[in-house]
Amino acid sequence: MRTTVGIIGAGPAGLLLARLLHNAGIGSVVLESRDREYVERRQRAGILEQGTADVLRAAGAGERMDREGLRHDGIELRFGGRRHRVDFPGLTGGRSVTVYAQTEVCKDLIALQVAGDGGPLLFGAEALAVEDADGARPRVRFRYRGVEDVLECDYVVGCDGFWGVARKAVPEELVRVFERSYPFGWLGILADVAPSHDELVYARHERGFALLSMRSPSVSRLYLQVPEGTDADAWSDDAVWDELELRFATDDGWRLERGPVTQKSVTPMRSYVHEPMRHGRLFLAGDAAHIVPPTGAKGLNLAVGDVVTFVRALTHQRDTGSAELLDAYSETCLRRVWQAERFSYDMTTMLHRMPGATPFDERIQLARLERIASSRAAGTDLAEAYTGFPFGG
C-alpha cells in the first residue's frame, strides 16, 4: 500500500486530518486499531472552542453540530456556597463555546469518510511501528485481519493518542518529556436527566472538585474528584448523587436533579508534553504528543489545532515549494500547547482539593477564585483561554 499521508489513529485528530486533507486534494490512509463501534461509543470530551466549531463547519462536518450542539455563553464557578458566572461574549468581545460530544464529532467525521471518496479508513488495523521516519519514504508497519502489511508514505502523522506507537519512532536522545501527574482522578457519570443548570458548573469544595456538564437537554454528564486508583464500581449511584449534591450546594437553595445513571468510569489526570512534535517526515498530533487534565476542556481542541497546522503547512509546501511551515510545525503547535497546559494546570490546581495542601494553600485557592469573581481583567483571562487560543498563532 502507498499513500501521501499515512494517519495512525481514528480519534478526532486522525479523522479530522483525513477530512481536511481530502478537502485539500491530498490522499491519505487511516489505520485504526479498534472497531468502528468502539470508536463511536467512547465517552470523552464535550466542549468545542469557537475555533474548533469553525474548523468543523469549514470542513463540511458541522451540519449536525449546528443543529444539535448547544451554544454556551459562560460557565459558573461555585465556591464557598456562592456562584459566579463568567460571561464569555461580554469579556472576550463575542466569543462562546459549543457543547457537542466528541463521540458525535467522531461519528460525523466517520460518516463523511465512509460515504465519500475520502480515502481508506481501516478499522481493526493496528500500527506496530513507524520505520525510517527521517528518510524520504517513511513506512508504517501494521497488522490487519491477522496479516502484517506495510503502508508506504510521503508523510506519517501519529494521531494514535497517549498509548500509541508513533512517538516511539523519535530517537530517545532527541526527546524531552515534560510531565506531571495528579494524585486524583475524575469519576464521571452519564445520566438520563435534564441538566440542573443551563451552563457548566465548576465547583470547588472542601470535599473536592465537582463538575456539572451535559450532552443534550435531556442527558447530564457529571464528574467528581476521587482519589487516584478509585474503582468506579465501588461507588453506588446513590453515593455519587449524594456526594455531588454536597459539593454543588449553594446558599440560595439551588437543587440538583437526579436520574438513572447509564455510564460510570474513572479518568486519571495528567499533564504531559513530548518535544519535539516532529521527527523528519513523522508528525505527532493530539494526545500522541500532549495530554492536559480535563479541567480546562482543552484536549480535543488542541488535537484540532495540531491537524489544522499540519494541513496548512503541507498545502503551503505543495503550493509554494517551501517547507518553511512544515519545519516550524513543532514550534508552532507547542506555543499553543503550552498555553493550554498552563490554563489546564491553573484550573486544576485552583479547583481541586490538592493532597498535602496547607490551610494557607486553601486560602490562596479561594483568593484566586475571588479574584476572577471581582476583577474584569482576571475574568477576561479565564474567558479568553476557555473559549480558545488562535490556531497556528
Residue positions annotated with a catalytic role: 72, 202, 294, 298, 386
Alpha carbon distance 44, 41 (integer Å)? 9
| Between 167 and 205, CB nearer to ligand PHB | 205
What is the nearest approach in angstroms of ligand PHB to the Cβ of residue 256?
Answer: 16
Alpha carbon distance 255, 209 (integer Å)? 18
Size of the site for ligand PHB (CB under 6 A): 9
C-alpha cell at 181: 501527574
User: Is residue 51 close enough to count as binding ligand RFL by CB under 6 A?
Assistant: no
Q: What is the 3-state secondary structure (H, E, C) of 128-168?
A: EEEECCCCCCCEEEEEECCEEEEEEEEEEEECCCCCCCHHH
Instruction: Show contacts of 233-242: CB within 8 Å, 24+ apart.
Output: 233/264, 235/187, 235/264, 237/189, 237/261, 237/264, 240/187, 240/189, 240/264
C-alpha cell at 166: 508513533
Going by the DSSP 8-state scheme, the letter that residue 257 receives in this structure is P
User: Is residue 126 close enough to count as binding ligand RFL by CB under 6 A?
Assistant: yes
User: Is residue 330 close enough to count as binding ligand RFL by CB under 6 A?
Assistant: no
User: Is residue 240 close enough to count as binding ligand RFL by CB under 6 A?
Assistant: no
What is the nearest approach in angstroms of ligand RFL to the Cβ of residue 81?
Answer: 26
Beta strand pairing status for 176-191 and 261-275?
antiparallel
User: Is residue 297 close enough to count as binding ligand PHB by CB under 6 A?
Assistant: yes
Q: Which of residues 55-84 bind ligand PHB (CB under 6 A)?
A: none
Alpha carbon distance 347, 192 (integer Å)? 28
The CB-side HSE value for 375 (13 A sphere, CA atoms) comes to 10
151 binds, among ligand PHB, ligand RFL, none (CB under 5 to 8 A by kind): none
What is the nearest approach in angstroms of ligand PHB to the Cβ of residue 223?
Answer: 7
What is the nearest approach in angstroms of ligand PHB to the Cβ of residue 371?
Answer: 20
Q: Which residues bind ligand PHB (CB under 6 A)?
A: 45-47, 200, 213, 221, 294-295, 297
Q: Which residues bind ligand RFL (CB under 6 A)?
A: 8-14, 31-34, 39, 44-47, 102, 126-127, 159-161, 163-165, 188, 267, 286-287, 294, 297-301, 303
